[in-house]
Amino acid sequence: MTDPAAPSQGRRSEDGSSDFATARRNQPAVETSRIGVDAGRIQAQLAHLATFTDAPPPAVTRVLWTPTDGAGRAYVSSLLEEVGLELRTDEIGTIYARWSGLDPSLPPVATGSHVDAIPNAGLYDGCVGVVGAIEAVRALRHAGFVPTRSIEIIVFASEEPTRFGVGCLGSRLMSGAMSPDQARALRDGEGHGVEEARRQAGWSGPLESVRLPEGTYYAFLELHIEQGPVLERLGLPIGLVTAIAAPATVRAVITGEGGHAGGLLMPDRHDALTASAELILCVEAGARGTGSIDTVGTVGQVSVFPGAVNGVPSEVRLSIDVRDVDGTRRDGVLRQIGDDAAGIASRRGVRIDLEVVTTDLPETMHPDLRNVLEASAADAGLATHPLPSRAYHDALFMPRICPTAMVFVPCRGGVSHRPDEFTAPEEVANGVRVLAHALARLSE
């Protein structure tokens, strides 16, 4: 995978200031009293979208290119058409919905997020950035605002890594962070490739057509729940993301020797599962050992073979996720895990193979766009707080195409990726107000 390109810095005016700085200094494009955000409507739409699920409510499971995913996307498409947007879909299923501006020659302002959901998730992750963007456009239309630049809502395909083990598949291909050939090499848990799976879902055109050139958009903004506890603890309504932590994903295969649980004596054992348990603790220790709260390490998948109650495990497969806003620090943890794995293999007489699947670089959000968001929050009378995103999003890859920034709203207890994920309707509405003001400032 190639290294991420440096973020675009925006065009500059004759006095040397960037366009975004001008947008920040300008008076609000729309009076706050004219932007009517309906918190109840947003909540109702989020709740209805949550009914498209393969898990018993209140859990939400919506995996890429399943019938349930298709039904959820169809509902979102109906909401986009309801507010008068022109829709198109690329060959991996990302939806683009445009509100055409007065000057179609100008690159549009974009916003959006995703609606796929990991197994046993909640109804806010990603969906707030899609349903909220629709409400922001609706509010601007009703306020009588007419954009000079077009405004485009993007509903990204496959932000979650559930099916193919790699997150942000749509935005990776869109931005060039992943090549079509790399995508074609991916397989899901049943051995189906990306090409087979997307064709079954109705997408048969060339993957090469998904790529967008740098400069396609003037700016990209993503509204999202924080997925952390900071804003709630501080009692503040709006977070302005400074940087997005990038994950490194590693697959581990631990191979030992199986046998009968009663017949294989303890001194003779080369148990793959006990070696795996030690490796899992090393992942935790490596993340804690940096001394930074921004370093996290997780083993979220464990597959044990043969999986018999009276059989010593002969093979274990693990997924390892290490992430940080500091790429060098994160990579130091990866090296430590590699060293630890070698030591475990030697002591326990097992084999440990580590395969690095992705090593993305952290991304800093565009400072001038963050200033626009701060001014937009002031327009709405809302206080802000700078903070990093320790979860990653499609906004991690959009800087390859255009300047990018993110807005956070609080979530109760910092809980996410669980059925009890919750953000109060008014808190979501606050984020939509900020987004609406920012879209207006950037598109006028």
Q: Does 93 reside within a domain?
A: yes
- Same domain, yes or no: 126 and 178: yes
Residue 389's nearest CA partner among 283, 286, 284, 240 is 240
Of 359, 382, 416, the last residue of a domain is 359
- Same domain, yes or no: 90 and 232: yes
- Same domain, yes or no: 94 and 240: yes
Question: What 3-state class would DSSP assign to 11?
Answer: coil
pLDDT at residue 260 tops 60: yes
- Same domain, yes or no: 272 and 210: no
Q: Does 2 reside within a domain?
A: no
Q: Does 158 reside within a domain?
A: yes
Return phi, psi of residue 237, to 5°: -85, -25
Of 359, 389, 423, the last residue of a domain is 359
- Same domain, yes or no: 87 and 231: yes
Six-digit token pair at 68?
Answer: 């349930």
CA distance 96 to 35: 24
Angle at which helix 39-49 crosses helix 67-82, to 10 degrees, equals 160
Span 212-237, pLDDT tens digits: 999 999 999 999 999 999 999 999 99
The mean pLDDT of 99-128, rounded to a whole number, is 97
Indicate yes or no: pTM above 0.95. Answer: no
pLDDT at residue 12 tops 70: no
pLDDT at residue 11 tops 50: no
pLDDT at residue 5 tops 50: no
- Same domain, yes or no: 125 and 210: yes
- Same domain, yes or no: 173 and 59: yes
CATH number (domain holding residue 264):
3.30.70.360
- Same domain, yes or no: 170 and 291: no
Span 307-357, pLDDT tens digits: 999 999 999 999 999 999 999 999 999 999 999 999 999 999 999 999 998
- Same domain, yes or no: 147 and 225: yes
Of 359, 380, 410, the last residue of a domain is 359
Span 62-79, pLDDT tens digits: 999 999 999 999 999 999
Give the largest CA-CA distance in the chain. 82
- Same domain, yes or no: 351 and 369: no
Q: Does 151 reside within a domain?
A: yes
Q: Does 290 reside within a domain?
A: yes
Q: Does 117 reside within a domain?
A: yes
- The total of structural domains in the chain comes to 2
- Same domain, yes or no: 212 and 158: yes
- Same domain, yes or no: 316 and 438: no
Q: Does 8 reside within a domain?
A: no
Q: Does 9 reside within a domain?
A: no
* pLDDT band at 358; cut points 50, 70, 90: confident
CATH number (domain holding residue 400):
3.40.630.10
Residue ranges making up the domain that contains 41: 19-245+362-443
pLDDT at 222: 98
The per-residue DSSP string of 25-74 comes to HSPPSS-GGG----HHHHHHHHHHHTTS-SS-TT-EEE-TTSHHHHHHHH
